[in-house]
Amino acid sequence: MTRMKEAAAVGQSIWLDFIRRSFLDSGELGEMAAQGLRGVTSNPSIFQKAITASTDYDAAVERLVGEGRSVNDIYEALAIQDIRRACDIMQPVYVSTDGLDGYVSLEVNPKLAYDTEGTVMEARRLSSLVDRPNVMIKVPATPEGIPAIETLTGEGININVTLIFSLQQYEDSAMAYIHGLEKLAAANVDFSRMASVASFFVSRVDGMVDPKLVELGNSELQGKIAIANAKMAYHRFSELFSGPRWDRLAAQGARVQRPLWGSTSTKNPDYPDTLYVDTLIGPHTVNTVPPETLDAFLDHGTAARTVDADVEQSRQHLAQLAEVGIDLDEVTTQLMGDGVDAFADSFDELMSGIAQKVADIAGGDDNQTRERADFFTVPSGAK
């Protein structure tokens, strides 16, 4: 039994934070699914690296240029095809888990992170274009994203809430999902196959907090705050998805919105490379890992229930952080803003890279190509 299957036996699904055309062509994704992989996530940074830093897509780009497609249209055609293919490859997992797993996530345009109406329109459009029951649309947990999550859930669209760093963001995301399900219940809509995850980012918290602790000469809390933060989110999950209100939805077939641990690669080389996987395993959770972290986990990770262990110690660590003068709310607010900006930058780099490929094929100026393609606009149909 692989460690992915061992983790599943404890209640955690391992998803892969990676997609690329050659990975799909080679059959590797299907092989990994047979070994216990239970989902796939993507984001603008992943597509930027896949499309612009490889030759995997060059033939498809050339064909699309020949069809007169714009840069935006080319990106969308490439991404939608990859997501559809990944959904089809993961379909057996979706079926065998009765819709619990087997999902592939596609993110809305990051330029819409602070636009509720635009996010709703874009998510609807992408869901319709992919047209697979096991697609999840990623929506960021910005203040503007939260009402979009409620609306989309209330329309029966599976949502992966992304860029969650704080407990307040987590609670807002969970309640948006619950409110959305209650709308479906009021309309007598069957939501027994609805699924959602709340992507709580982990290692980036230590990445910002640890340098502050170093400046204060505090070594005791280094490498511990991100895990403590995530464990407290799991504790809140246990509270939110229990009790009379949730029980009424569960009686109608509702599934909990599972916490998904994102940003679980270890950024500090002094820390174990499976630190943010081994310490957060437990029932009703997902961990989406990049390939190198998955390889490490398969080689020497530990698949044991840990996510609800030492909760009081985690609470103490967070209290101690406040005592030394570090405001975690300020940290997580900055991380969310930085995360939105990073994905938007990656999206710009992606579109610029495609524009360059188009210019190379057409033998023209990529600046003119970008202008013809409305380079800095959001897709048609979104505001």
Task: Please state the rounded mean pLDDT for residues 211-221.
Answer: 98
pTM metric for this prediction: 0.94
Residue 267 is among the residues annotated as catalytic for this protein = no
What's the mean pLDDT when you consider all of the chain?
Answer: 94
Q: What is the per-residue pLDDT for 112? A: 98
Q: Give the active site residue among 5, 111, 138, 231.
A: 138
Q: What is the per-residue pLDDT for 363? A: 75
The residues facing 14 across adjacent strands are 287
Q: What is the per-residue pLDDT for 293? A: 98
Task: Please state the rounded mean pLDDT for residues 325-346.
Answer: 97
Q: What is the per-residue pLDDT for 377? A: 43
Per-residue pLDDT band for 362 (boundaries 50, 70, 90) equals confident
- Please give the domain boundaries of the chain with CATH numbers for all domains: 3-201+256-306+334-372 (3.20.20.70)
Q: Whose structure tokens read 């330029």?
A: 111
Task: Please state the rounded mean pLDDT for residues 208-212.
Answer: 98
Task: Please state the rounded mean pLDDT for residues 180-198.
Answer: 96
* pLDDT higher than threshold 80 for residue 272: yes
* pLDDT higher than threshold 50 for residue 122: yes
Q: Whose structure tokens read 């069809």?
A: 67
Q: Is 287 left (phi over 0), alpha (psi -120 to 50) or beta?
A: beta
* Tens-digit pLDDT profile for residues 51-99: 999 999 999 999 999 999 999 999 999 999 999 999 999 999 999 999 9
Task: Please state the rounded mean pLDDT for residues 152-168.
Answer: 98
* pLDDT higher than threshold 60 for residue 382: no
CA 343/CA 130 separation, integer angstroms:
21
Q: What is the per-residue pLDDT for 378? A: 44
Phi first, then psi, for residue 17 (nearest 5°) are -90, 70
* pLDDT higher than threshold 90 for residue 369: no
